[in-house]
A and B are shown apart, each in its own frame.
Chain A
Amino acid sequence: MGGYRLKNGGLINRDKPVSFSFNGRKLNGFEGDSIAAALLANNVQQVGRSFKYHRLRGVMSAGPEEGGALFNVNDGAKRIANVKGTMAELRPQMQVYAQNAYPGIRFDIGAINSLFAPFLSAGFYYKTFMGPMRSTSFWMFCERFIRKAAGLGTASREPDPDSYDIAYGFCDVLVVGAGPSGLHAAAELAEQGRKVILVEQDFEAGGSYLSSGRPEDLALRDQLIRRLKTAGGQLMLRSTAFGLYDGLVTGVIERLTDHITDPDPHCPREITHILHPRHVVLATGASERGLAFGNNDRPGVMLAGALRSYACRYGVMAGGSAVLATCHDGTYEDAIMLAGLGMEITLIDARNRKSRQYQAASAAGITVLNGKVPVNVAGSSAVAGIEVADIDEKGVVDKVTTLIGCEVVGISGGYSPVIHLPSHRGIKPRWEASIQAFVTGQTSENIHVIGAADGVFEASACIDHARQLCAKMMGKKPKKQIRRGIPGGQRPLFEIQIEGRKLKSFIDPQHDVTSEDIRQAHREGFVSVEHMKRYTTLGMATDQGRVGNILGLAVMAQAQGLAVGSSGVTTFRPPFTPVSIGALAARERGADWRPVRRTPMHYEHLAAGAVMTDAGAWKRAWYYPKQGETIDDAYIREAATTRQNVAMVDVSTLGKIAVQGPDATEFLNRIYVNPFAKLAIGKARYGIMLRDDGMVLDDGTTWRLAEDDYFMTTTTAQAAPVMQFLEELLQRRWTDLKVHISSVTDQWAGMAVAGPYAREVLSAQFPSEGWSDAAFPFMGVREITFAQEGRDIICRVARISFSGERAFEIYVSADKGAALWSSLASHIKEGGGCLYGMEALGALRIEKGHVTAAELDGRVTLEDAGFGKMASKTKPFIGSVLRQRPHLIFENRPQLVGIFPKDRTGRFSAGAILCHPDQVSGFGEGWVTAVTHSPALGHWIGLGFISGGAEAWQNKTVMVADPVRDNFVEAEIVSPHMFDPQGGRQHG
């Protein structure tokens, strides 16, 4: 007979048929189906192959504990792997593919693995690749075959075309799980005036109400949802609470479009909600767990409760006849419901006494056999029947088995509360004998576990539990004891073994872990739960061991001769169910990964044809090519023009800090290595600061504008760290200093005009000012006020030079930057000058041996960078003590040098290693930090560090080794000041 759809019933919308494909085959289902329900309705029993042995897999459950029905969904870039068919909503034109089966489910090459099963047992990889065959090359040879054979779905290799978002939310109470307990708690708390958010991972609220088959339950559900919403509560469907974090911050993933065929392109596929609740109520329910017996992974073996879910919620019968194997009363109700819908049922109960439900079951036409357990499933690709045997009071199973023919087998070993979220908070679970499972232990946090999640399985007790929690939160004392467990009790039952018979009993069907693997772990000494988990991989699949964890612990406990539950349980960690990486990244990807910073002259650069480059978050002009110019042509022309005529560069990205207050001078004197106490008003000084450990932090110029007012500049790269360090010093260490600092980087646009004719440009721009060397000497600072559109504009000018030419740095209010830039640019153009970008700036500073972040990488001392003489001997400063550590004043430390290729036509790259010519190996003697073609010298030059510095390498040859680019060039070491070492050009 096989699986079929009932003529009526279920929560599906029979007016909306849905066509979809499975492995390319067209099938039909209804709106409201899960993928698994629709496959069962079409009598598709084999839905995939297992992870290791490639055994056939069928649908095993109806929830997140699924270990069989895992699919690849969609084609191309939108393909998603490991989709749980029991959770995913069916939608029109959905393309569903089986996983881990090549070329097809029925004939699968990997299934040959099961013949090698004795070799592929627990610890196979460690023993093979860390044992006698240990070598990297052997692993690398085998890896590609193993990777192809093992594993589950395959992710798309294309960029994810979907968008995701992140949202923050706040509430008084977050209720997780919209089953009977959660709905009652949420509705009552909302009516008491709490701000309540109720999240449910399913696409329908109701939990066990959905599969009860009782219309009155659905009516109650609808009423509770109405009460919740009327009272202002919020219900979020398709939303999984995947992690519970510090301060009860809860991560919730909401799936918005996977169930829609043509979603609004602007709608994100998923939203990550970061919720901040005051209280968390966990009504996460319980997972039914299976039993370990022979071939219990055959397609057609399912959890008993899942058979009922498919029948009552989806109107799908998984088969015409079933054997239900149980050890408690819960399954009787499932059996009666299924029998009423036309399934032929034999119920075998491990308990020897007759259940209170026996009469009702018999009356429903069910054959009930007491004191019997399932032993082995008959049939190879599907269930043909099941061997059952007698079990005595002590748990000994008779060797004589009877075969009962059936199409499906429903099993139940009891229910395990879902305790993953409290486990995320580090709350240790406690073994509860009455339900043979773990429940959440004590916690001082505002986490409340109710209903089946706390082992309360009776529907009316769940409602009492929810009400009692609401009363407790209102400050009332609990009235009565809530009873845990299944009414009628249960017999502890985990694995069925028969003496002298080898059964292939699966504990974790998703990872192909058998009871024999657990016993092997025991024999080899991996007995603690954490060791067993890692050795066998039990519970490490996407279901996190929901079905198999307790079974595995029970098998191990039996092997050790201990009581089940005495071993504790492994810690569950987020996420509760798999979460898309895209949803965690949300908007922070591509161009939105971080904010873009543009200088006030950004659009002037674009208009001038600049090619832009990234410098941290900044966009900077790289070079300004003329028609047909390459980058090399352009920067060499720009640098040469600067040296011969005049040019301008945008320096707005430099960090700028206003340092103000009566103790500003003292403050600067403490943070810079060189003296700042006597800097005159209207003068700038180049300064270097160290970290506490004596390494160089940053360099830059600081301008004294008034007695108590300084304008500090930092490098672009270190602007933020320097600001933070200065704030830290003033707030933690030197709390008596009266200094105020503020970052003014974004307030000032900066531009440097450099070259022999810089003076002419400035005097054309500001004709009323004096620009002679006497009127405006080197390191001089002045403020210029000019009128624009009837307003006075102030700009700050300093005669400082990074290029080594006569140069002026001009700062103006950011909103006036573009106008001043354009005006200066037109004066420069008139005189035959040009604009220059980062590349030419680099060439000019390398020629001069001026350092930047490439050299000051945090591992460099003052002496290494050639600034040893700048350090004051008369005052203490930050880093002045620890810079004297023996290893930092060691003579042979690598020091800043210039590098010329011996053959002046040669060239080399930054990052190359400087080696002794007859020992080109290892770490070498130093490294290259920056290179450029020098227009002034007419050949390639570099900056770098080498042991002992330039003096130690006089008249010697070094090898610039670049094995990555296969470039080896002989070079000579020179002073880092390769052009105009006396500085005549900038001073003149």
Chain B
Amino acid sequence: MLRIDCPFCGPRNHDEFTYLEDGSVKMPALANSNKNAWYEAVFLRENPRGAHIEDWHHTQGCRMVLRVKRDTLTHKITSVVPAHPEYKKMLASRDKPVRPSGKKSAGARAK
């Protein structure tokens, strides 16, 4: 059983999570009408032996999408961060909370 150290909930068994997909895949912009670009992003996947970036959804917890670095050979997990860049930033600087939009929080302004 894998243990995923959710940055919001703490270490939890992997059966609380749903594997979504390869976290390194970047989907084309919605306005991109290139069929090949979509085909590659939706269907083509690497199957690496070793380091793998993957997105997991904490379905039975905080429901956040987490970006997990996992070794497919040893199952060793080396990093777990929120997939959303603003939440990632927010957690990295927990002492000075920021809103997902990047603005300072109301609490911080009041000071």
Residues of A whose CB lies within 8 Å of any CB of B are 245-247, 249, 274, 276, 670, 692-693, 724, 727-728, 730-733, 735, 738, 876-878, 880-882, 884-885
A738–B35 CB distance below 8 A: no
A876–B2 CB distance below 8 A: no
For A886, give the chain B residue with the smallest CB separation.
B35
* B16-54 Cβ-contact flags toward A at 8 Å (1 or 0): 001010000001101111110011011100000000000
Write 24 A-B pairs (CB below 8 A) sorted by A numbering.
A246-B2, A247-B2, A247-B3, A249-B3, A274-B1, A274-B13, A670-B30, A724-B59, A727-B63, A727-B65, A728-B57, A728-B65, A731-B64, A731-B82, A731-B83, A733-B27, A735-B84, A735-B86, A738-B100, A876-B33, A880-B33, A881-B38, A884-B35, A885-B35
User: Which residues does chain A contribute within 8 Å of B101, judged by CB atoms?
Assistant: 738
User: Which residues does chain B contribute within 8 Å of A692, judged by CB atoms?
Assistant: 27, 38, 41-42
Contact of B65 among A246, A247, A731, A880 (CB under 8 A): A731
Expressed in whole angstroms, the Cα–Cα distance for A417 and B71 within the complex equals: 30
Known: A245-B1, A247-B2, A882-B39. A876 touches B30 (CB 8 A): yes
How many of B's residues come within 8 Å of A, CB to CB? 34
Min CB gap B16→A, angstroms: 12
Q: Judge whether B96 is part of the interface by a CB distance below 8 angstroms.
A: no
Known: A727-B63, A728-B57, A882-B38. A246 touches B1 (CB 8 A): yes
* B61-98 Cβ-contact flags toward A at 8 Å (1 or 0): 00111000000000100000011111100000000000
A728–B20 CB distance below 8 A: yes
Min CB gap B45→A, angstroms: 13
Contact of A724 among B39, B41, B57, B75 (CB under 8 A): B57
User: Which residues does chain B contribute within 8 Å of A733, judged by CB atoms?
Assistant: 27
User: Which residues does chain A contribute within 8 Å of B27, judged by CB atoms?
Assistant: 692, 733
User: Which residues does chain A contribute within 8 Å of B38, judged by CB atoms?
Assistant: 692, 881-882
Expressed in whole angstroms, the Cα–Cα distance for A738 and B84 within the complex equals: 12
User: Which residues does chain A contribute within 8 Å of B28, judged by CB atoms?
Assistant: 881
Expressed in whole angstroms, the Cα–Cα distance for A876 and B43 within the complex equals: 20
For B84, give the chain A residue with the smallest CB separation.
A731
User: Which residues does chain B contribute within 8 Å of A735, judged by CB atoms?
Assistant: 84-86
Min CB gap B63→A, angstroms: 6
User: Which residues does chain B contribute within 8 Å of A247, judged by CB atoms?
Assistant: 1-3, 75
Min CB gap A698→B, angstroms: 17
For B1, give the chain A residue with the smallest CB separation.
A249
Known: A692-B38, A735-B85, A876-B33. A727 touches B3 (CB 8 A): no
For B67, give the chain A residue with the smallest CB separation.
A732
Expressed in whole angstroms, the Cα–Cα distance for A587 and B82 within the complex equals: 33
Expressed in whole angstroms, the Cα–Cα distance for A965 and B101 within the complex equals: 61
Expressed in whole angstroms, the Cα–Cα distance for A249 and B39 within the complex equals: 39
User: Which residues does chain B contribute within 8 Å of A728, judged by CB atoms?
Assistant: 20, 55, 57, 65
User: Which residues does chain B contribute within 8 Å of A878, judged by CB atoms?
Assistant: 30
Min CB gap A690→B, angstroms: 12
User: Which residues does chain A contribute within 8 Å of B85, judged by CB atoms?
Assistant: 735
User: Which residues does chain B contribute within 8 Å of A881, judged by CB atoms?
Assistant: 28, 32-35, 38
User: Which residues does chain A contribute within 8 Å of B75, judged by CB atoms?
Assistant: 246-247
Given A693-B42, A727-B63, A876-B30, 11 more A-B residue pairs with CB atoms under 8 Å apart are A247-B2, A249-B3, A274-B1, A274-B13, A692-B42, A728-B65, A732-B65, A733-B27, A881-B34, A881-B35, A882-B39
For B75, give the chain A residue with the smallest CB separation.
A246
State the total of A-B contacts with C-beta under 8 angstroms: 68
Min CB gap B34→A, angstroms: 7
Expressed in whole angstroms, the Cα–Cα distance for A881 and B35 within the complex equals: 6
For B66, give the chain A residue with the smallest CB separation.
A731
For B32, give the chain A residue with the smallest CB separation.
A881
For B36, give the chain A residue with the smallest CB separation.
A881
A876–B31 CB distance below 8 A: yes
Known: A727-B57, A738-B101, A882-B35. A877 touches B30 (CB 8 A): yes
User: Which residues does chain B contribute within 8 Å of A693, judged by CB atoms?
Assistant: 42-43
Most buried by B among A245, A692, A885: A692
Min CB gap A92→B, angstroms: 39
B42–A882 CB distance below 8 A: yes
User: Which residues does chain B contribute within 8 Å of A885, judged by CB atoms?
Assistant: 35, 39
User: Which residues does chain A contribute within 8 Å of B63, judged by CB atoms?
Assistant: 727
User: Which residues does chain B contribute within 8 Å of A246, judged by CB atoms?
Assistant: 1-3, 75
For A426, give the chain B residue with the smallest CB separation.
B74
Min CB gap B89→A, angstroms: 11
User: Which residues does chain A contribute within 8 Å of B33, judged by CB atoms?
Assistant: 876, 880-881
Min CB gap A718→B, angstroms: 15
B18–A724 CB distance below 8 A: yes
For B57, give the chain A residue with the smallest CB separation.
A724
Most buried by B among A724, A727, A731: A731
User: Which residues does chain A contribute within 8 Å of B100, judged by CB atoms?
Assistant: 738
For B65, give the chain A residue with the smallest CB separation.
A731
Most buried by B among A246, A738, A881, A884: A881
Most buried by A among B30, B34, B39, B84: B30
For A742, give the chain B residue with the smallest CB separation.
B63
For A881, give the chain B residue with the smallest CB separation.
B38
Q: Which 4 A-B pairs have the closest CB atoms?
A: A731-B65, A249-B1, A246-B75, A881-B38
Expressed in whole angstroms, the Cα–Cα distance for A723 and B13 within the complex equals: 22
User: Which residues does chain A contribute within 8 Å of B18, judged by CB atoms?
Assistant: 724
Expressed in whole angstroms, the Cα–Cα distance for A732 and B43 within the complex equals: 17
User: Which residues does chain A contribute within 8 Å of B87, judged by CB atoms?
Assistant: 731
Known: A727-B65, A882-B39. A732 touches B83 (CB 8 A): yes
User: Which residues does chain B contribute within 8 Å of A730, judged by CB atoms?
Assistant: 84
For B20, give the chain A residue with the smallest CB separation.
A728
Expressed in whole angstroms, the Cα–Cα distance for A631 and B80 within the complex equals: 53
User: Which residues does chain B contribute within 8 Å of A670, judged by CB atoms?
Assistant: 30
Expressed in whole angstroms, the Cα–Cα distance for A218 and B4 within the complex equals: 44
User: Which residues does chain A contribute within 8 Å of B83, judged by CB atoms?
Assistant: 731-732
For A670, give the chain B residue with the smallest CB separation.
B30
Min CB gap B97→A, angstroms: 17
For B39, give the chain A residue with the smallest CB separation.
A882
Expressed in whole angstroms, the Cα–Cα distance for A249 and B1 within the complex equals: 6
Expressed in whole angstroms, the Cα–Cα distance for A658 and B52 within the complex equals: 34
For B14, give the chain A residue with the smallest CB separation.
A246
Min CB gap A695→B, angstroms: 11
User: Which residues does chain A contribute within 8 Å of B39, judged by CB atoms?
Assistant: 882, 885
B55–A732 CB distance below 8 A: yes
Expressed in whole angstroms, the Cα–Cα distance for A357 and B27 within the complex equals: 76
User: Which residues does chain A contribute within 8 Å of B31, judged by CB atoms?
Assistant: 876
Expressed in whole angstroms, the Cα–Cα distance for A733 and B27 within the complex equals: 7
